[in-house]
A and B are shown apart, each in its own frame.
Chain A
């Protein structure tokens, strides 16, 4: 049996105190189970785990970031229960939301690190350039802070594309030599929840998975949990039927746009992006970017700022051919140049043949040339 103190902290006893009845709580657990892509029978297990689990310590580190993932997390849906989950977690250090400041805050973090077994949540990229001077907190560089925190960590959860893959700070020309967390630390289980920002429901679900099963969920080759990044936007998009039909928006606000047709020709990167946005959606599941009429920009893919741009055209521009060189223009150029080039060549050859121009190479078949390679 858990100790009395732990029972006090456990979520189960505090539901009423938070004005959440059991029915609402179970419904929330069912939603989380669905987000995790687990069979419905796991709902009970999730509920039991959440009711009885000990308060896990969390250190939330912010480096080169915009605090967008914090914003996203604090606005997780079902505020009543979501807040409870937040309350369930002992967030010992979080620059944006903690009450403590300065040395007091650093001391709280050090105490948690000394205890070990905590979860580190990282938001923002780590600048490696010039010894890491581009991001220092309390006199320490982001590299140092991360390495110290990683030592006793049970797991590292990267929220947002910046901590996962370097994100916007890493975009070319990357003046700070920003990298993702996995390029700095190793030896700790790391999971990536990319997105700009990461979706609060995926953060919560990952934490709940950890609390329920004591491990991080299964991931793809880019370290992203399969439950959230196992399907492409394009394959779960509500506009997909219009894509298959051949009904495309051609201009913002045109008739097709008003009818909710596919945004492919407006540069939608749904076909190149793995994320569960169309399924769990945003803002308390009211809508999501493509649902509201804008193409996906591929924010949860590594280096999206470099590889998914231009956001409003289908394929990336080809560098080195001038500013307006789209793949098709270059391609047409190649085809046209070959046609024109060989056309001219043909005419020249004909003239050469008639005029008998050109240096008389040794006549084919003469002894000297009897080196036909096809033999």
Chain B
């Protein structure tokens, strides 16, 4: 049985293993960031699936007794709490995490990021060939995520407010009932529903962009959200 060091040494000395000078491997996404990311992914999938059914119940139960809508609503509500907690944790993490997970990666408060915002847009509009160098989120992605976070927060508030309708004497109502002083109940439902569709649109865009940049950058961007590591040329840091 070889020791670990022995195995590492063996690999490092293997001439077939690529050891490109000038390439660094960085742990960009910390464990909490990755865990929260996949929690949100799972919650969004469940929430969109159950939410679509709640808006348009297509599974129809015949005369036999059933509890389909009741069950789906319970799942929706349970995953809504998971989603809400995950989003809150991620927001908290953006103040305590590493530099790539911080809030200033989303809100373009730094001038350089604003400059790169336009250049990144140029990349998407075929004006630039190379994707922008960024170990974490590129500035355009950051701003997109800012919009997504705002959408998610609105989704959480409207969703909890709609859930609170069932008990206007409850705690949930006393925290979210103010929504209905500003907007009609049906308007809140509509907004909640449209944000679901916008989120689906975002997911499509997000997966596509990740794959695209991964291909162009060869940085292992897609795998980085599983492993946390990106492999980047030093000059692209």
Contact = CB atoms under 8 A, between A and B. Distances in A.
Nearest to A271: B165
Interface stretch (B1-9, B76-84, B123-131, B220-228): B123-131
B194 A330 contact: yes
Contacts of A104: none
B69 A244 contact: yes
A243 interface: yes
B135 interface: yes
Interface residues of A, number: 66
B25 interface: no
Contacts of A343: 208
B194 A327 contact: yes
Interface in A262-321: 264-265, 269, 271-274, 298, 301-303, 306-308, 314-316, 318
Nearest to A327: B193
B82 to A, nearest CB: 22
B97 interface: no
Interface string A322-362: 00000110111011011100110110110011001111110
Nearest to B207: A342
Residue in B113, B185, B198 whose Cβ sees the most chain A Cβ within 10 Å: B185
B126 to A, nearest CB: 5
Nearest to B136: A374
B138 to A, nearest CB: 7
Nearest to A255: B63
Contacts of A352: 126, 129
A221 B169 contact: no
A332 to B, nearest CB: 7
A328 B53 CA distance: 12
A140 interface: no
A246 B57 contact: yes
Contact of A335 (B60, B61, B200): B200
Contact of B116 (A298, A328, A339, A372): A372
B87 to A, nearest CB: 21
Interface stretch (B12-20, B36-44, B150-158, B229-237): B229-237
Contacts of A250: 60
12 contacts: A245-B67, A246-B69, A272-B184, A302-B184, A337-B201, A338-B202, A342-B204, A353-B129, A361-B129, A364-B131, A365-B235, A374-B100
